[in-house]
Structure 1
Amino acid sequence: MPNIRVRLLVVLVVLCGFLTVAGTPPATAATSALPSDSLWFDGSPLAVRDGRFADSQGREIVLRGYNVSGETKLEENSGLPFASVADARKSAAALRALGGGDAVRFLLSWAHAEPVRGQVDTAYLAAVTEQIRAFLDAGIRVFPDFHQDLYSRYLFDSGSWYTGDGAPEWAVDAGHYPKESCGICLFWGQNITQNAAVQQAQYDFWHNGHGVQDAFLATAQATMAYLQQHLNDTEFAGIAGFDPYNEPYAGSYDSGQTSRTWERDLLWPFYVKFRARMDAAGWQDKPAFVEPNLFWNSNISTQKQEGGLQDAGTLGPRYVFNTHFYDQKAISGILMWGKAADGQYASDFAAVRDRAASAGTAAVVSEFGHPLSGTVSDKAPTVLKAMYQALDSRLPGAGWWSNPAASGPVLSGTQWQWDIYDGGHHELMNGNPDKVLTSGDAWNDEDLSAVNLDGSGNVTPRQDVRLLDRLYPSATAGTTLAFTYEDRSRDGSTTLTWNPVPSSLPDVAQLVGSGQYGLLVWRSGTGTAPTELHLPASFPTASTTVVSDLGTVHAPPAYTATTPVAVAPEPGGTGSRRLLLTDTDSGALHYALVTNGATAPSADLLNEARSELAAWAAAHF
């Protein structure tokens, strides 16, 4: 989460300078509800191949979505993201249709999975399974995450200013930690380096003090085995992997230890143990989404630390390089006075791409976001646009058209967060009935959810839907060479256009006009499945124009096997749609411009735009 890093930073800069199982398992899950009209099975098993995610058709896959959700960190719904399966299904449908997501990072609670040492609560796991199934049935891939922040809420008493989540009460009791105190702490993230109770508890976990790490690994294995046994084969195929531990931090270092050697000597061995537990639980073919130390990807020099799992060697296909990113300068309110601009995070996200490439695996940015209320919330429209821009391409918009071959792979990412209860919580902070939290995330004064519920109980975006519901290549039949998307999202009344079509392509510029557009360039592979791009709701079929070497069409037709440019529903029955682009070759260069800016374009304009794009592609690839 942002404040674990950011708020510590502000003070640094400003002030200093198998188990016994309790309960009865439910009956074996019924057949998946994925519809038969999915055409190409989006829920096919995910693998890492040649440093990118790939499906069983050999297509390059991009995961885009949200964290579901910070509600898990609260007690009001007993460590579950949703109060009911019905709410989970409502959220999944909206996440697909309003947020354009095809994946979620699904938060789990160790405290609720193992409330008694050595006993897994299968009632909790059954509830988790049903809520996960709601997303799988909507055609959304899921990667669970055993979440923690500040180690555990049980380190904090009823009068504390802050709270945590993660470890169960028995794990805290075993440590006999000192009374928590952060001293002069303006922000909750300072606890990680100023609160002795938090520091010692984290230290004990990584050193397996009192056997707590062994207990966690056993619970994780039991949880994964439960999911494998209670999801049917089709549903289990939609599980993308597992995130073992959120934002790992040493607590304190041993003598002479650095963040890099801590990763080498303690964090990586933990991941190797977790990987073995995955294998034992029947998750052999699913990758572990492993995170470096939480300070690794920082845009503040005083907080930048060595790490990034540099000493783990080649991670390979059984691991995914999984990091987070928040603009700590923007959130501080002190170190960045203005708004984010074109290319703001190009270098930060390029570092993620480069680190994953050097590790021989795929990358995912499993948390990113910005506060939507408070003194820095005015930056959110530009900060989030710049983050999505950096996920799409490693280039600023100003340089994309002139050097598209440097665009790099499209990064997978899940925004923090998708909490339908935002602003409507009823959380007793640390169990204190005199501290009932209702506003924002109900978590240490944060407010980052992209949605909430309106007065009628409908899921409603709190951010510009042009920003959230994006065009992106969800499955590329071959290798993505370049991609960009100009969402034309708004900062107040200002339309943010960071990647206009250059004047050197006048017919393309005329076709796009003031509309949204995306451009994908790829080299075809050897499979037969089509390339797929998610079509936002702002791209209704009647207003969508595609200019491609595969065909040029306004208002694409419904998909058939012989239609090179077509539209089809996305799986899950949520009303969301995708563009399907079918080639019949291997190793050939292809491009596709997709825009909603044209109204009944002439055949001449379409042909001229195609000629311009063909010449542009030939010159740059």
Structure 2
Amino acid sequence: MDMPNMRARLIVVFVVTVVLSGFLTVAGTSPATAATPSDSLWFDGTPLTVHDGRFVDGQGREVVLRGYNVSGETKLAENGGLPFASVADARRSAAALRALGGGNAVRFLLSWAEAEPVRGQVDTAYLAAATEQLRAFLDAGIRVYPDFHQDLYSRHLFHTGSWYTGDGAPEWAVDAGSYPKESCGICFFWGQNITQNAAVTKAQYDFWHNTYGLQDAFLATAQSTMAYLAQHLTDSEFAGVVGFDPYNEPYAGTYESGQTSRTWERDLLWPFYQRFRARMDAAGWQAKPALVEPNLFWNANIASQKQEGGLLDAGTLGTRYVLNTHFYDQKAISGILMWGKANDGQYATDFAAIRDRAAAAGTAAVVSEYGHPLSGTVSDKAPTVLKAMYQALDSRLPGASWWSNPAASGPVLSGSQWQWDLYNGRHHELMNDNPGKVLTSGDAWNDEDLSAVRLDDSGAATLRQDARLLDRIYPAATSGATAAFTYEDRSRDGSTTLTWNPVPSTLPNVSRLVGAGQYGLLVWRSGSGTAPTELHLPASFPIAATTVVSDLGTAYAPPPYTASTPVGVAPEPGGTGSRRLLLTDADSGTLHYALVTNGATAPSADLLGAARSELTAWAAARF
């Protein structure tokens, strides 16, 4: 993770022993049996591409990526800049991420310092280990996009007694510069080093100006890394690699006289991305997009930090690039600027800006980091802050206005929460290589604690946040184009159930059917393909308690999916016991809807029919 001023994060312990017996599978099959769906329900053999501002698979379906960052362990030295201590841990993590966290994608962190410890010499042993760990996620049916991660430029800028540390650039890159002794002065949050620590700002400036050939060296290592992945993954595995995030949270360091954040993006950041794009092509990644981040202060929600940006002068990004940004509520993290909890629609405007900027740039968007501290003085805000963030990913509307104006819902955004890490609370990190300063708690990195998962005392993976919040219904693949989507997770803030999008009283039978349960509602316009629409089914939606009301049909305890079944359930790939709802239409350009809820108990045919009539009339009037 990383973020400007005012934020904290966490690395959670999570060496996962996944207990799959608690997850129902289709038609009584075991997880092992359910792990081998037909090829038509697996990756389709082609990479995702960008088309009409959406991620699209080889069958023409609109794809939404949801998951986590794996993981902040890469920022530490204890496991040599790898996300995991072993491939076995990577496999445990991937299985739990699928089964407990409901994810279908991860942002996979890599370290420049470990990839090129000696200038001009790529460490193939590191690349081999990273590739095997990355493969563990692909084997679990999880798509991956790697990220060369950095925070505060490099740990090697920081002295052994420092209060803070960094990650990213190798030691030789720091030795090349004549940087002042680092000091943040009076800083309350590690992110203040980004603008206040002269060593950090000077090193950042040097990178963007290619001083000492730093940028050239980075790009050469990036190309070698991508070429290694392309050569050592099978074709089907490589198809699961979405693209590459070139540089985490870019910032100028210091602006030159007369330079603005916008002109810095135009003159230095965007040319860097173009150079990175050329390296992708040379490494065999021509069909995959670069997931490019604007100036990290572009979408800040504190007016004094917000800067003009968003790659405004890059023209139409099109199919070769994806707008990739982060979002943290720095007001909430500060503990001062937001006193209460987050509410319905809290981040609708912030996330609308992401949708609008991506649309103007002619490309898809991904929010590759978001989260909130899970310990400390502001952790009480986490349940509402994260619910509001997920709400904003699902729709640009508050719950209060969703049912009356669903056509304004906007595209469903892809995103990866910070973070999912096996080792939270059980680290042994020598901060800045200081044997007298061994960090074990939280992330073991600058007092952050944001991981969604930890290992309990029995060694089993345990969520640190409400499962109802994290394991969500979302449209993983839509046959055609999404017209509107909402999900009421009814997650909890302590003992309080948060309901921000109740079914309106104008739909009494739908309201009766949903009751106090969770529900998701997808509206889409069919395309010309034959592959089904797929919705992830959370663990809180066991088949025997799931009800579907759609213009395609109704079902209580929907049956196993077949090509002739308009509404059916199938396992998700990877053998974790997780499931998906599959909806099949046989037309093109037609508006369809599907309500999915776990609130009903053996609903009558009359109630299902009445709810369907209400939803049909509602959809006809609203779209």
CA contact (8 A) 1:545 1:594 kept: yes
Q: C-alpha separation between the residues in 1 aligned to 2:360 and 2:270?
A: 16
Counterparts of 1:260-409 in structure 2, within 5 Å, are 260-409=262-411
Tell me the distance in 2 between the aligned counterparts of 1:239 and 1:221: 15
Per the normalisation by structure 1, the TM-score is: 0.95
Letter in 2 for 1:591: Y
- Kindly indicate whether the alpha-carbon contact (under 8 Å) linking 2:492 and 2:498 is maintained by their aligned counterparts in 1: yes
**Local SS of the residue matching 1:527:** coil
Q: Compared with structure 1, are the counterparts of its residues 318 and 3 closer, same or farther at alpha carbon in structure 2 (3 Å cutoff)?
A: closer
For residues 250 and 349 of structure 1, the distance between their equivalents in structure 2, rounded to whole angstroms, comes to 24
Query: Partner residue of 2:79?
Result: 77
Q: Distance in 1 between matches of 2:418 and 2:247?
A: 16
Q: Which amino acid aligns with 1:4?
A: P
The residue that corresponds to 1:601 in the other structure is 603
Which runs of structure 2 are paired with 1:230-269 in the superposition (5 Å)? 230-269=232-271
Question: Which residue of the other structure, out of 435, 438, 442, is the alignment partner of 1:436?
Answer: 438
Name the aligned partner's letter for residue 478 of structure 1: G
Residue 484 of structure 1: SS of its match in structure 2?
strand
**Letter of the aligned partner of 1:602 in structure 2?**
S
Match of 1:59 in 2: 61
Q: Which residue of 1 aligns with 2:563?
A: 561
Residue equivalent to 1:4: 4
- Which residue does 1:145 correspond to in 2? 147
| Cα deviation, residue 7, structure 1 | 5.6
Measured after TM superposition, the shift of residue 210 of structure 1 is 0.3
1:110-139 Cα distance to aligned partner (Å, 9 max, x none) = 000000000000000000000000000000
Task: Specify the alignment match of 2:138 in structure 1.
Answer: 136
Q: Supply the AA of the counterpart residue of 1:243.
A: D
Percent of aligned positions that are identical: 83
Equivalent residue of 1:317, what SS? coil
1:183 CA displacement: 1.5
- How far apart are residue 39 of structure 1 and its match? 3.8
Q: C-alpha offsets along residues 558-609 of structure 1, whole Å, 9 cap, x if unaligned?
A: 0110000000000111110000000000000100000000000000000000
Distance across 1 between alignment mates of 2:40 and 2:511: 34
Taking the aligned partners of 2:389 and 2:313, their CA distance within structure 1 comes to 28
Aligned-pair distance for 1:456?
2.0
Q: Match of 2:214, SS?
A: helix
Give the corresponding residue for 1:193.
195
CA distance in 2, matches of 1:141, 1:7: 28
Name 1:40's counterpart in structure 2.
41
Q: SS of the counterpart of 1:311?
A: coil
In the alignment, the residues of structure 2 paired with residue 256 and residue 2 of structure 1 have an alpha-carbon distance, to the nearest angstrom, of 28
Give, in angstroms, the shift of residue 458 of structure 1: 1.4
Matched, 1:576 2:581: no
**Structure 1, unpaired ranges of 5+:** 9-32
Query: What are the residue-to-residue correspondences of 1:65-144 with 2, within 5 Å?
Result: 65-144=67-146
* Counterparts of 1:305 and 1:182, CA distance in 2: 22
CA positional deviation for 1:36: 4.7
Q: Partners in 1 of 2:516 and 2:395 — Cα distance?
A: 21
5+ unaligned residues in a row in structure 2: which ranges?
Answer: 9-33
| Aligned residue number for residue 167 of structure 2 | 165
Residue in 2 that maps onto 1:11: none
Residue equivalent to 1:206: 208
Question: Displacement of 1:35 after TM fit?
Answer: 3.5
Instruction: Name the SS of the counterpart of 1:364 in structure 2.
Output: strand
Q: What SS does structure 2 have at the residue aligned with 1:389?
A: helix
- Paired AA for residue 565 in structure 1: V
1:511 is the counterpart of 2:513: yes
Secondary structure in 2 aligned to 1:315? coil
Name the structure 2 match of 1:24: none
Contact 1:52/1:362, CA 8 A, preserved across alignment: yes
Quote the Cα distance in structure 1 between the aligned partners of 2:111 and 2:35.
27
Which residue number corresponds to residue 459 of structure 2?
457
Moved over 3 A (4+): 33-39
Per the TM alignment, residue 186 of structure 1 is displaced from its structure 2 partner at its CA by 2.0
Q: 1:576 to 1:466 in 2, by over 3 A?
A: same
Q: Alpha-carbon deviation of 1:3?
A: 4.7
Paired residue secondary structure (1:421): coil
Aligned partner of 1:614: which letter?
Answer: T
Quote the offset at 1:6 in angstroms: 2.5
SS in 2 for 1:322: strand
